[in-house]
Amino acid sequence: MISFLTSFLAAHATIIIYLVKIALLLFIVLTVNAYLTWFERKVVAHMQSRWGPHRVGPHGLLQPAADGLKFLLKEDPTPAGVDKFTYFLAPLMALALALTSIAIIPFGPEPLHIFGRDITLGIADLNIGILALFAITALSVYGVALAGWSSNSKYPLLGGLRSSAQMVSYELALTMSVVGVLLLAGSFNLRDIINAQAHHPERGILGWNIWPQILGFICFFVAAVAETNRVPFDLPEAESELVAGFHTEYASFKFAMFFIAEYTSMITVSCLCTIMFFGGWLSPFPASWTFTYYLPSVILIPAGLWVIWDGIRYETIFGRLVLPGIGTVLTVIGIALAVPQLQFVNAFIQGPFWLLAKIFVFLFVYVWMRGTLPRFRYDQLMSFGWKLLLPLSIANVVITAFAMLIWGPR
């Protein structure tokens, strides 16, 4: 039996590795989505001088689990007159497409060496990665449009139609805004785009695409915010006009699937901004500044000590038990990364550390905008996309091509 199992694992090792990576990525992404809702509620609450979640677990850390349990146990009615197949397909399609797009993102430069195999930090490393990703995200409009149409209600229908027009309009500007980056990199592969920004490691942040492509980045990020239906472009979910937009007739976990898809799309956009314009996993410091390798420890150790101190004086017994434990784990990891014998681990995590740090910054900007910016009117939304954003993105392509024709590739 053992020999059969060993031979089976050896014969199907590649498939098993991919299945494990897919399961691990799904677990991480769904967990991050859950706590991204907590993070958003906390940040916006502090902006508005409120507490935010704080009752369910210490600092409200168990609020995402409570929300998930509520969605699973909540009543799930199906309105009369809906197209049932399309009604149930729409949230599944929205979620599946959002999660599939994450599979194309590379999360680190170096593979893991386990049992004689190189395991890359990502699912699919495609030569046409950016094209495949845009093809997947372009299909996400169907989930929203079909949800509005199949609900057999005028408000979801209006929300779906508005969303379709918005996403199709901004898809053009979104695609055109990255052409300049593709011209500079000479490749559609996301790893090649990052490596093209590492030709001059002594420059650090000055070698990233954000400087020659600042116009392209502005067009890309604005169009991406509109694509993900976030403030100030959340017209498909305008409560004051459409009750709740395209998902008005959805409840329970089907309702939650739309929001999981939205937060997953936020993560994907943050990954793309980081990879194409901000150096991906590259450090912002020149390669000669080796002391920056200890930044993970410099961040983790004080953070862990602060969590321990906060836990000791927390008002509930549960918080006084849990928070010091979390703080101790963070502190121990930070100290371990600074130990000379574990420098190979520290060197390996440098790429994922910088990539995730930049992604977190963009996620914070998403939340920041929700707490500060007002919503566009629909005519302003469409006018801005067609009359300003699309011409600027096309102008960026022309300027980049003209500059490369004169000065050549960098």
Sign of CA dihedral 91, 94, 97, 99: negative
Cα 32 to Cα 267, 329, 360, 377, distances in angstroms:
9, 19, 11, 32
User: Which stretches of 228-374 are DSSP H helices?
Assistant: 239-242, 252-277, 295-312, 317-338, 343-372
Q: Are 172 and 166 in contact (CB under 8 A)?
A: no
What is the pLDDT at residue 164?
A: 82
Q: How confident is the model at residue 215 (pLDDT cuts 50, 70, 90)?
A: very high
Arithmetic mean of pLDDT over the chain: 89
Q: How confident is the model at residue 260 (pLDDT cuts 50, 70, 90)?
A: very high
Q: How confident is the model at residue 276 (pLDDT cuts 50, 70, 90)?
A: very high
Judge whether residue 2 has pLDDT over 90. Answer: no
CA distance 83 to 91: 13
Domain boundaries, the chain: 1-62, 74-288+339-407
Provide the token pair at 47. 């902006």
The residue written with tokens 């703080």 in the block is 327
Provide the token pair at 144. 């929203």
Query: Going by C-beta distance under 8 Å and a sequence separation of 6 or more, which residues neighbour residue 129?
Result: 104, 188, 189, 190, 191
**Angle between helical axes of 129-138 and 84-102 (0-180°, round to 10):** 160
pLDDT, tens digit (0-9, with 9 covering 90-100), for 44-76: 999 999 999 998 999 999 999 999 999 888 888
Amino acid at site 163: S
